[in-house]
Amino acid sequence: MDINPIEFRGQPALRAVGADGSAFTVSLHGAQLLSWTTADGVERLYLSPRAVFDGAAAIRGGVPICCPQFNQRGMLPKHGFMRNLPWENRGIDAASGELTLRLRDSEATRKLWPHAFEARLQIGMGSGRLRAALTLLNVDHAPFSFAAALHTYLRVDDIADVRLEGLEGANRWDSLRDDRHVETAPALRFDAEFDSVYAAPAKPLRLVQPSGTLEITQSASCSETVVWNPGAVLGAKLADMPEDGYRHMLCVEAARIDEQVLLLPGAQWQGWQQLRVL
C-alpha cells in the first residue's frame, strides 16, 4: 500500500493506493475516511459535496469517528470531540500493514473530558475490502467509560432501489417513534426518514442494489448497528448536504452505545467495521 500526503478541499489528508488500483483517502481532521474506490473505480463511500472543510467543523460523509460520546447522549458536543480534532499520521504498521493515525489527550480535551487516553485508527485495504478499526487505550490512573461508533456513510445509486438484509429478528429501537420491538422485515427498505439502533447480529449484513452487493461486518465489541437515512424532509434542512443527497447515501454504523465500555487503567478496547464487495 502506497501512502502519500495530499491536500483535500484545502485540508491535509492521506491517500493510499493498493497494488490492484483500489484507493482510500483519509483526512487528518478527525481521522475521517473520505473516499474508498475499489479497483473498478467505483466510489463506495458517500461524501457530501457541501461538506464543510475548515479544520474545525464535522465533515458530512465518509466515516466520522463518534467518541467518547454517541449523538447527544451526554454532556459533550454531539458525537464527542474526536471527529473535530487533528490526528497524527503514524505511518504503516509493520505487523498489520495498515495505516495508523493517533490522537492523544491534550489540555483542550481534558477540559471537555478529564481523562488521559490514546486513540488509534487503523485502516487496511485489500481486494474489494476495506477495514477500519478504532482502538482506545486508558493511560490514566482511574477507569473511564465511553461510547463509540464508526458512522459510515455508504454511497448508493438510489435509496429507493436499496435493501439492507440481515437484521430480521434483531431487537430494534426506532428513535423516530421511540418504539422498541423485534425487527420482522427480512430486508429493510427506505422511503422516508429512517433512524434506528439494532442489536448487532452475529452474521454480516448485505447492502443490495442493482449495481451490486456490499457485505458489512463488525466486531463483537460493537454491540449495536445504527441505520440512518435523513429522508427528503430532514435532508432538505441539512445545510451541508444537497437536497437530493439523501438519495445517494445510507449510514450503517458499527457502534457501542447502550452499554458503555468501562475501561480500566492500562486496558484497551477495539471496535472495527469491514466492508467487502461481493
Helix H or strand E encompassing 191: none
CB 139 within 8 A of CB 263: no
Q: Is 165 marked active-site?
A: no
Query: DSSP code of 210?
Result: T
CB atoms within 10 A of CB 59: 26
Residue of 29, 115, 151, 224 marked catalytic: 151
Residues ≥6 apart with Cβ < 8 Å to 205: 164, 165, 166, 167, 215, 216, 217, 225, 252
151 is catalytic: yes
Place of cell 473520505: 34
Q: Is the peptide bond before 186 cis (omega within 30 degrees of 0)?
A: no
Q: Which residues are catalytic?
A: 151, 253
